[in-house]
Amino acid sequence: MSKQQNYTARLPDANGYIDYPQTEHEIWSELYQRQSINLPGRACKEYLEGLDTLGLAIDRIPQLAEIDTVLQQATGWKTAAVPALISFGKFFELLANKSFPVATFIRSREEFDYLQEPDIFHEVFGHCPLLTNSSFAHFSHQYGQLGLAASKEERVFLARLYWFTVEFGLLRSKSDELRIYGGGILSSPGETIYVMGGQPEIRPFDLVDVLRTPYRIDIMQPIYYAIENISDLGVIAEMDIMAAVKKAQQLGLFKPTFPAKAG
């Protein structure tokens, strides 16, 4: 999380209001409208219900206070304005206090389809709708508490759990219906289409396997993990996750299914 940043977050005024230029509102609007076409039949119903509950503006970047009003009433969560990238420690601290970090910048047109840093569209459009869901919110809170108490080495394994659930998680029902709940997919037009196209390997969720699976942040994922229902996240939150981390550390990582990063 702590690495060179290409963007600078916009700062709120004394009233918490962020004045975005019109060009950035237009980028938000185009991203929103494009995904609103892609997501029906692909996004899980809990996400779509959350999106309706949030009532995000289509023609402008929303103010975080607007989102907080809805989240506080639904699950007791709120957002926290942060720079583009924050430390693991700060990230876990925020989640442990039911505050979801939101970087207050939006991507440039040069990185319209993909950027490695999480921008406000990724955070708000991709993640915040599911924070209205009690199972997702509970998992996120428990995850933050575990991460806050974990060692540096344990946090590396916990990062994989977050990656394959909150960021790139899928649902696969007993009837084999596939739906998306991971915000990294939901905010990415390319990955939304890719993940449903039959190309990647989709494995049933196994906690230790997830913790042992390496990933790269700069490519389409070759492997995803699927739970059956969003409520399964509440079950996972009550597992002995740190015991699973210790087991994964003992067993070691799986061999990567992707090429090494050049350079």
Query: Closest by alpha carbon to 7, among 147, 150, 115, 88?
Result: 115
Contact call for residues 212 and 252 (beta carbons, < 8 A): yes
233, 118, 105, 145: CA torsion to nearest 10:
50
In one-letter notation, the amino acid at residue 233 is L
- What does the alpha-carbon distance between residue 135 and residue 99 come to, in Å, rounded to a whole number? 16
Query: What phi and psi values does residue 94 have, to the nearest 5 degrees?
Result: -65, -50
Closest CA to 236 of 145, 162, 139, 157: 139
3-state secondary structure of 226: strand
List the catalytic residues.
122, 127, 167, 187
